[in-house]
Amino acid sequence: MDGLLISLISLGVTGLFILGVPIFLVISFWVIGVSLVIDFTLANIGVTLYEGLNFYGLLALPLFILTGDLINAAGIAKRLSDFAYACLGFMRGGLGMASLGACGMFAAISGSNSATTATIGSIMHPEMKKGGYDEEFAAATVAAGGCVGIIIPPSIIFIVYGFMMNLPIGDLFLAGMIPGTLMVVAMMATCWFLSRRNGWGHLIKFSPKRIIKTGSKAWLGFLAMGIVLFGLSTGAFSPTEAAGVTTGFCLLAGLLITRQFGLKDLPKIMMRSGQITGMLAPLIAVSVVMQQVLSLLGAKAFLTGVITSLGGFYPILFACMAIVFVAGTVLESLPVTVILAPILAPIAASIGVDPIQFAVIFLVGASIGFITPPYGLNLYVASGMTGIPYLRIVKHVVPYLIALTLTWFAIALIPGISLWILS
């Protein structure tokens, strides 16, 4: 009887999701409904909405979000984009590839996929449109480029994953470096191939002078990346402290060096970051409650039984990846991580996958979810920013999706891609 009721509740909340009810409420109502069915106290919600956010490491999330907005406001993101264009503009598809490269560099200072798409997209999409690219392809390029935001360190989702699974966040960050770079390279190759085939983009002359000039202008961006990398690789700061220092650095850079914003602009910048934090933090808290209820239902034991019954290393690994991929098509990466990581990580560990490598496999899969319909957040951001209908961007994002999926399999099958840097 309980099983039937829980199935009906799950169907009901799926209906709410399709009807456009906020995801926070969709998850909340599943939690309330199932808690009532299994006679689990609702007081747990009151406690977990505090306890779910009560972790020092989680503070890196709002700080890296703010860093992203400060880099943009300080003009550092624009300078990094100019440098990427100077390096790649001489090739067919160079501007598109520069957009992807700029996404990678932005991701190395900030830690959010949607912020990467929004920031680099607002700078590079108009340039690509002017530069002879199909505007729908240009929107798809910045949407796909944003996927490395959470893989190249620092990363908001790595922080959440480390928090949930009790793994060293610094190690997770370092493990994401090569896979993130590989994702950028795979997308650049896709962009080059498509641009060459369709004759998109105007070429600029290869000029070392221009590269040096734009590179020297982008020094603040490189320094910000250096601070994060130095802090994490030497252990001088924790990820949260690295986030605090980078935020402070970008603030001072914008106020005193580039002077692109003043003190009076700070509330507006902080409100933008606060709005994104206010979207993500409640989702984390309520996903923690959902995870607890799933544990009570025995979902972990059930799913473990089903997956391990497949037998063998590869079927189990691919089943875990398939679950992450499917969940990523309908859920935001945070709930996917909070709900599925505690279930799938022990299964992967039981077949001998290194926990850090599995974290990277898991999060690259969750990251691909940012451009998979029906729920692809980066596609929404690109659509909202460019005014191009969502479904038209989806059509052009498919080649990037294939490239990223192939890269994902390479990351899953070759542990060295994630773990070499740690050794």
Partner 1 sequence: MHKSMGKAFYWAFQNIEKFFIILSYGSMTAIIFIEVIRRFLFNEQSAWSTTIPIYLFLWLAWMGASYNTQKRSHLRFTEMRQRLSYGAQFSCLILDTVLWFVMGAVVIYFSVEQVYISYDNFSIVQGTDDVMQWWFYLATPCAWTLLLIRVVQNLVSDYQDFKAGRPLAVQAATFGD
Among 9, 34, 37, 63, binds partner 1 (CB under 8 A): 63
Rounded distance, CA 396 to CA 416, Å?
A: 32
- Contact of 60 with 109, CB cutoff 8 Å: no
Based on the shown chain and the rule CB under 8 A, indicate whether residue 17 belongs to the binding site for partner 1.
yes
Based on the shown chain and the rule CB under 8 A, indicate whether residue 228 belongs to the binding site for partner 1.
no
**Mask 301-340, x = binds partner 1 (CB under 8 A)?**
-------------------------------x--------
Q: Which stretch binds partner 1 (CB under 8 A): 10-18, 79-87, 127-135, 347-355?
A: 10-18
31 token code pair: 């939690």
- Shortest distance (Å) from residue 375 CB to partner 1: 5
- Tell which residue, 133, 138, 113, has the closest CA to residue 123: 138
- Closer Cβ to partner 1, 203 or 281, answer by number: 281
Question: What number of other Cβ atoms are within 10 A of residue 3's Cβ?
Answer: 9
Which one-letter amino acid corresponds to residue 310? L
3-state secondary structure 64-102: HHHHHHHHHHCCHHHHHHHHHHHHHCCCCCHHHHHHHHH
Based on the shown chain and the rule CB under 8 A, indicate whether residue 226 belongs to the binding site for partner 1.
no
**Mask 371-400, x = binds partner 1 (CB under 8 A)?**
---xx-x--xx--x-----x----------
**Mask 230-269, x = binds partner 1 (CB under 8 A)?**
------xx--xx-xxx-xx------------------xx-
- Closer Cβ to partner 1, 55 or 318, answer by number: 55
Question: What number of other Cβ atoms are within 10 A of residue 204's Cβ?
Answer: 16
- Closer Cβ to partner 1, 53 or 422, answer by number: 53
177 token code pair: 């470096």
Based on the shown chain and the rule CB under 8 A, indicate whether residue 136 belongs to the binding site for partner 1.
no
Based on the shown chain and the rule CB under 8 A, indicate whether residue 21 belongs to the binding site for partner 1.
yes
| Alpha-carbon distances of 383 from 115, 137, 176, 280, 423, rounded to whole Å | 14, 12, 28, 20, 41
Helix (H, G, I), strand (E, B) or coil at 260: coil
Rounded distance, CA 210 to CA 222, Å?
A: 17
146: Cα within 13 Å, side-chain hemisphere:
31
Q: Enumerate binding residues for partner 1 (CB under 8 A).
A: 16-25, 28-29, 32, 42-43, 45-47, 49-50, 53-56, 58-59, 62-63, 66, 114, 118, 236-237, 240-241, 243-245, 247-248, 267-268, 270-279, 281-283, 285, 332, 374-375, 377, 380-381, 384, 390
